[in-house]
């Protein structure tokens, strides 16, 4: 049963937006968008070695979006409302979707980015219902940037 968005949902979306505007998070998001191109665990280890600023930026971005996705997975945040303005979540998933299974295997942690993946898959379904060609065009752009 789908529920309607509430003022609490709106306030949480606005709070998530505010957190993304914090200066260090902005730097991390900018780095992630422009420089994160790892598709394999070996590429990740070379680009983001433990203790590096790049590793910190990666963790900041993916843990932020994993947290936001957990709000949706837990039904604390209205999914429909979030999808209307939260496409950056899908952007992040597109950039890590090849890497995530490899990290899960290497760390023996099947829960790594589980919420992000689940919500991204729901987002893809939602986007395809809204505009059938939007996701394929979006993923082509994002994945083309990652080469």
pLDDT digits (tens, 9 = 90+) for 27-38: 999 999 999 999
Please state the domain extents for the chain.
Answer: 7-145
pLDDT, mean of residues 15-28: 97
The proportion of the chain whose per-residue pLDDT surpasses 70, expressed as a percent, equals: 97
- Looking from the CA of 46 toward its CB, the CA atoms found within 13 Å total 8
pLDDT tens column, 51-110: 999 999 999 999 999 999 999 999 999 999 999 999 999 999 999 999 999 999 999 999
Q: What's the whole-model pTM score?
A: 0.93
What pLDDT is attached to residue 2? 62
Q: Is 143 exposed, middle or buried (0-12, 13-18, 19+ CB in 10 A)?
A: middle
What pLDDT is attached to residue 143? 85
């Amino acid at each position: 049963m789908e529920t309607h968005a509430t003022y609490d949902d709106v306030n949480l979306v606005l709070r998530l937006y505010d957190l993304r505007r914090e200066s260090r998070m902005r730097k991390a998001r900018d780095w992630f968008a422009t420089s994160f191109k790892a598709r394999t665990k070996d590429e990740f280890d070379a680009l983001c070695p433990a203790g590096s600023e790049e590793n910190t930026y990666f963790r900041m971005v993916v843990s932020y979006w994993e947290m936001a996705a957990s709000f949706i997975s837990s039904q604390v945040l209205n999914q429909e409302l979030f999808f209307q303005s939260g496409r950056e979540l899908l952007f992040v998933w597109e950039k890590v979707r090849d890497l995530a299974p490899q990290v899960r295997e290497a760390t023996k942690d099947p829960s790594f980015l589980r919420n992000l993946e689940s919500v991204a898959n729901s987002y893809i379904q939602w986007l395809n219902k809204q505009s059938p060609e939007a996701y394929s065009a979006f993923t082509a752009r994002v994945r083309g940037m990652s080469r």
